[in-house]
């Protein structure tokens, strides 16, 4: 992983992501992270991915995960597999911190996208709701994460993320 820190912290929510096994360290097979969410912290909005699946494993506390319309609490030792194209979100509704692993398979560009997103927070380039001020930044992050926000109209996502995008530095993202 080079000389970069193994963790990043969201300057708004206090969420901490520790990169345990990077995409490059696993030869492109997966990315494994540890997420620490403070009490009452919100994760991402309801979304889905078309190119990777996620496996959640709770280490401590209670993690609330929504799958499609069903919301359920998961405790220490509980795990959940989220296949591609399944709407999901996570958050901490409790008064105590929660820690959990997420394995993204394959998870290509996810780490880089989170570093960009948290960097924009640190650089004060986000709106009060936590979204990037620039639509280009929003499109870049969503494309790199293969994230489709269910509350964002399909036409908006198509316009933002449509076509073949090439942002340089060898990174080429294509429509999923």
From CA 67, how far away is CA 90, in angstroms rounded? 9
12 and 81 belong to one structural domain: yes
Total of domains in the chain: 2
65 and 89 belong to one structural domain: yes
Q: Which run of H or E residues covers position 139? A: helix 135-145
Residue 172 is predicted with a pLDDT of: 37
Residue 145 is predicted with a pLDDT of: 86
82 and 139 belong to one structural domain: no
Other Cβ atoms closer than 10 A to 23: 21
21 and 40 belong to one structural domain: yes
- Tens digit of each residue's pLDDT, the chain (176 residues): 555 789 999 999 999 999 999 999 999 999 999 999 999 999 999 999 999 999 999 999 999 999 999 999 999 999 999 999 999 999 999 999 999 999 999 988 999 999 999 999 999 998 887 788 988 888 888 888 888 888 766 665 555 555 434 333 333 333 33
Query: In sequence order, which residues have a C-beta less than 8 Å from that of residue 172 and are 6 or more positions away?
Result: 164, 165, 166
Residue 171 is predicted with a pLDDT of: 37
């Amino acid at each position: 992983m080079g000389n970069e820190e193994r963790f990043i912290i969201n300057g708004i929510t206090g969420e901490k992501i520790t990169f345990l096994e990077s995409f490059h360290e696993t030869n492109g097979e997966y990315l494994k992270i540890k997420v620490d969410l403070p009490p009452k912290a919100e994760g991402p909005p309801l979304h889905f991915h078309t190119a990777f699946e996620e496996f959640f494993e709770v280490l401590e506390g209670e993690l609330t995960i929504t799958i499609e319309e069903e919301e359920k609490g998961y405790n220490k030792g509980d795990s959940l597999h989220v296949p591609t194209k399944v709407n999901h979100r996570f958050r901490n509704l409790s008064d105590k911190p929660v820690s959990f692993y997420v394995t993204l398979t394959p998870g290509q560009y996810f780490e880089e996208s989170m570093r960009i997103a948290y960097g924009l927070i640190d650089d004060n380039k986000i709106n009060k709701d936590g979204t990037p001020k620039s639509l280009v930044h929003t499109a870049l992050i969503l494309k790199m994460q293969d994230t489709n926000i269910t509350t964002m109209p399909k036409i908006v996502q198509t316009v933002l993320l449509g076509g073949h995008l090439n942002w340089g530095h060898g990174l080429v993202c294509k429509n999923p």
